[in-house]
Amino acid sequence: MLAVPDCPNGPVLLERLGLLLADYPDARLTCRVVRDEAEAVRAGMHGSPTLLGNGIDPFAGPGSPASLSCRVYRDGSGRSQGAPSVAALRQAVRLAGAGVQGAAT
C-alpha cells in the first residue's frame, strides 16, 4: 500500500484489507509513505492510497498517470469513497491470483 503522509483514507484501506487478508494467511502487506511526485512515479502510485498487487494497481485505468494526489474510488453504485470496498478488493485479489491485469470494480 502506498500513501502520502497522514492520508485519512490509508487507515480505511488498511481496515478493509485486514478483513480480506484474514482469508489469506500467507499474504504479505507492506505499507510505504510516498513524499514527493518523483517517488510516486517510481512507485507506481496513482493517488493516495494506492494498493499494488504484484506491482500492479488493479484500480487504475489504462494510461493513468502517477499522482501524489488524494484518490477517489467508486463503489458499485458509482458513489465516491476514499478506498475500495472489501468486495472490490476481493475481486482484485482474485484477478491478481489469476494473472489478470486491469481495473477491478
For the residues 63-71, what does the mean pLDDT come to? 94
Average pLDDT, the chain: 89
Global pTM value = 0.86
CB 10 within 8 A of CB 32: no
For the residues 1-5, what does the mean pLDDT come to? 97
Q: DSSP 3-state assignment of 20?
A: helix
Residue 72 has pLDDT above 80, yes or no: yes
Query: What's the half-sphere exposure (Cβ side, CA atoms, 13 Å) at 19?
Result: 12
CB 89 within 8 A of CB 57: no
Specify which residues 3 forms β-bridges with: 33
Question: Which of 49, 40, 42, 27 is CA-nearest to residue 97?
Answer: 27
